[in-house]
């Protein structure tokens, strides 16, 4: 089995119909043929997408709590100083 990792960020997710086939378009570079997918598979895909959204909401909430705690403690920002090195021309 080959695993392909693709990060699409906020690029569009759409359905495409081409020559009687239905595709799920994710971003510019990924197109999944769902023409022959069963209703069970499509329902499972919807459930997984909902789970991903729930996880992302949890991450956002955790970050908001950390920001709120830092603000209550009087911390404006937390950063790590960096030292820039020479840049190639």
DSSP 75: -
pTM: 0.60
Quick check: 15 and 23 in contact, CB under 8 A? yes
37-41, 50-54, 72-76, 78-82, range with the lowest pLDDT: 78-82
pLDDT attached to residue 74: 67
- Position 78 pLDDT exceeds 70: no
Average pLDDT rounded to a whole number, residues 70-85: 64
Q: Who has greater pLDDT, 72 or 19?
A: 19
């Amino acid at each position: 089995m080959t695993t392909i990792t693709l990060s699409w960020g906020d690029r569009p997710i759409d359905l495409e119909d081409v020559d009687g086939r239905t595709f799920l378009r994710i971003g510019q570079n990924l197109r999944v043929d769902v023409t022959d997918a069963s209703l069970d598979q499509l329902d499972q895909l919807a459930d997984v997408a909902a789970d991903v959204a729930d996880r992302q909401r949890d991450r956002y909430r955790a970050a908001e709590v950390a920001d709120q705690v830092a603000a209550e403690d009087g911390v404006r920002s937390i950063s790590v100083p960096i030292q820039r090195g020479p840049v190639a021309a």
